[in-house]
Amino acid sequence: MSGHVFHPGHHELHGITVVVETSGDTTYVGRFDREDDEQAYLKDVGVHQAGSQSWEEYLDRTMLYGVKVDHPDLTVPRAEITSVRKLTEVGRG
C-alpha cells in the first residue's frame, strides 16, 4: 500500500462508487462522500430514471464505460434511500 494517502478517517464507503436506490423511480450511481442525519452526499453522480433506458442496460454500460456524470455533487435525503451498495457488487449481478 502506498503511504501517500490524502484523506484517511472517513466513512467506510468514502470514495467508493455506490448504487443508491430510492423509494422513487430514481437510482443514483456515484462516489459516496459522507452522510449526516438528513442527507447522503455523493460526487460525480449518474442518474437512472425508471421508464427510460432499462436498469440492466444502464448498469452494463456503466460497468463497461464508467459513470456518465449528470451531477458533480448531489445530496439525497436519507429518508428516500432504500439501499446503498457498491457498484462492483451490483454489477456482478
Partner 1 sequence: MYDPTLVQPMRDETVAMGLEELTTVAEVDAVLANHSGTALVLVNSVCGCAAGTARPALKQALSHGVTPDKVYSVFAGMDTDATQRARSYFGEDFQPSSPSMALLRDGEVVMMLHRHMIEGRTPEEISADLTAAFDKHCETTV
Binding site for partner 1 (CB under 8 A): 1-2, 4-8, 14-17, 44, 63, 65-69, 86-88
Looking up cell 454489477, which residue turns up? 91
Q: Is 6 or 93 the residue whose CB approaches partner 1 more closely?
A: 6
Location of C-alpha cell 464505460: 65
Cβ closer to partner 1: 4 or 79? 4
The gap between the terminal CA atoms of the chain, to the nearest Å, is 29
In whole angstroms, how close is the CB of 47 to partner 1 at the nearest point? 14
CB of residue 29 to partner 1, shortest distance in Å: 9
**Looking at beta carbons only, is 47 or 67 nearer to partner 1?**
67
Q: Are the beta carbons of 57 and 22 closer than 8 angstroms?
A: no
Q: Which is nearer to partner 1, 37 or 65 (CB)?
A: 65
In the complex, minimum distance from the CB of residue 79 to partner 1, in angstroms, rounded to a whole number: 26
Say if CB 18 and CB 90 are below 8 A apart: no
d(CA 64, CA 48): 16
